[in-house]
Amino acid sequence: MSHSQEMKDRQQVQDRHEILAKHYVKSVEDLLSKIFHCSAADICQHNTIWRKWNEISAQMLDRLLNLIENTDIDDVYKARAIAVLIAPSVLFTPFARYSDPRSNTNVFLGSALHPLSSLSSELCVFTLELLKLNIDTARNLAKDDPNYLSVESCYLDKYVLWFLAELPADNPLAEQLFNRLSMNDLECFIGEDGSSGYNPFRDIMESSIPDVWKRKADEQTRNIIEAEAAGARKPRMKRERAWPNYVKHIGSLAIGKSIPYPVDLLASQIAYIEKWSNWRDWCSFVRVHVDALLTLLADEKYRRLCIKIVASVVLGEVDGRKFEIAYTSDLNLAKKMLVMCGSGGDLDVCFADEGECVDELRRLITRAEVTLAERNAEIAEAKRKEEIILGKMKKVA
């Protein structure tokens, strides 16, 4: 591409952004007019007062937050403070604002806001409607450059999670906000903390939002998995395939033996992973997570699934290696699995020989108890000998 063509394309993008900015300003003013019943003259007067305050305050973060908190301040000015705080870019703030001449980044974006419960009902609606507008604006800007406003869009999505945690699930605005969330990262990246691949899905699942949204997020991600499997949808990059990232994130959420959503949803996720995994990958997954899963799925109604997990761990192979008991922790896990199997009466869900898993566990446990006892005796003897030698090394009084 020639330099002149590049300059022309850049100018066209800038022109589109200027048009979008005008529409954005008009949309914000329409929100003010609709929610706070302001006329055009009112908006003009309020903007004049706002600009004067802005010149004095320099719009520092603490002053913006204090303004929102001040019960003596009219909501029309609090709305402007909120608009400055969550603007997708300084170019898209319809009021006087702090601006770094070196960047269009809104330096306030991502700051913690006051809880919705502390706002008036009108100001709450304004904030939620404005957030919807800002997300849509950021998405439109990204059409010209996929990397444009990627960080800002991530911050806007964080606000959605903050607000969904407060809103009743049956609030229409809650569903509208949720529908603007993306299950996958907005752009491809590789960093020290990981790479792109459905991190927003993980954020949703571990957040404090109502469970109804977590179930919807899980359903959406499964739909993406199945669309990719059918060839109806292609990931941006191989590492961003929905399926392996889904498995990875569910595993990471369960590994601490506690999950931030209902156990029945976890059971459904594990059953889904078993259904869609090949035998090797399934055995590898449950080998890592069996201890946590048996703890989380301890209720009797999940026993059938747990036995399937245990049988896969004990009789399956990972990289050509079967389950072994090398340490006391392994021995405790083996005993835990044996208790889960009970009589082995449900093992036919996986294997024709329903006693094979129980027999193998008992064999491993018996052998490990002897081996570990011998090892502990050797360690104790070595410690005793060391103490004798150390005694001879002490200073003579």
Averaged pLDDT score across all residues of the chain: 88
Mean pLDDT of 250-278: 94
Q: Which helix (H) or strand (E) holds 191?
A: strand 190-191
Residue 333: name the closest of 290, 285, 297, 374 by CA.
Answer: 290
Shared-domain flag, residues 292 and 365: no
Residue 168: name the closest of 130, 128, 221, 132 by CA.
Answer: 128
Query: What single DSSP character describes residue 300?
Result: G
Q: Could you tell me the CA-to-CA distances from 83 to 8, 65, 87, 91, 133 in Å, in that order? A: 32, 12, 6, 12, 11
> What value, to the nearest 5°, has the Cα angle with vertex 28 and ends 26 and 31?
110
Query: What single DSSP character describes residue 120?
Result: -
Shared-domain flag, residues 271 and 328: no
The answer to whether position 191 is within a domain reads no
Distance CA 391, CA 38 (A): 89
Shared-domain flag, residues 155 and 205: no
Structural tokens at position 108: 């306030």
Helix pair angle (303-315, 279-296), 10° resolution: 130
The answer to whether position 254 is within a domain reads yes
Percentage of the chain beyond pLDDT 70 is 89
The answer to whether position 189 is within a domain reads no
Q: Which of 153, 181, 209 is the last residue of a domain?
A: 181
Q: Which of 181, 211, 237 is the last residue of a domain?
A: 181
pLDDT at 342 over 90: no
Shared-domain flag, residues 224 and 303: yes
Shared-domain flag, residues 20 and 137: yes
pLDDT at 268 over 70: yes
pLDDT at 209 over 70: yes
Shared-domain flag, residues 174 and 222: no
pLDDT at 245: 95
Shared-domain flag, residues 154 and 242: no
Query: What single DSSP character describes residue 115?
Result: P
The answer to whether position 372 is within a domain reads yes
Query: What single DSSP character describes residue 318?
Result: E
* Window from 96-105, 198-207, 241-250, 286-295 with minimum mean pLDDT: 96-105
The answer to whether position 1 is within a domain reads no
pLDDT at 352 over 50: no
Shared-domain flag, residues 173 and 270: no
User: pLDDT band at residue 58, thresholds of 50, 70 and 90?
Assistant: low
The answer to whether position 3 is within a domain reads no
User: pLDDT band at residue 147, thresholds of 50, 70 and 90?
Assistant: low
The answer to whether position 312 is within a domain reads yes
E strands, 135-178, in order: none
The tens digit of pLDDT for each residue in 123-139 reads 999 999 999 999 998 88
Mean pLDDT of 305-326: 94
The tens digit of pLDDT for each residue in 11-28 reads 777 778 788 888 898 999
The answer to whether position 52 is within a domain reads yes
pLDDT at 246: 97
Mean pLDDT of 290-295: 96
Total domain count, the chain: 3
- Which is more confident, 148 or 331? 331
Shared-domain flag, residues 62 and 145: yes
Domain containing residue 355: 324-343+351-396
Shared-domain flag, residues 172 and 210: no
Shared-domain flag, residues 165 and 228: no
Shared-domain flag, residues 283 and 372: no
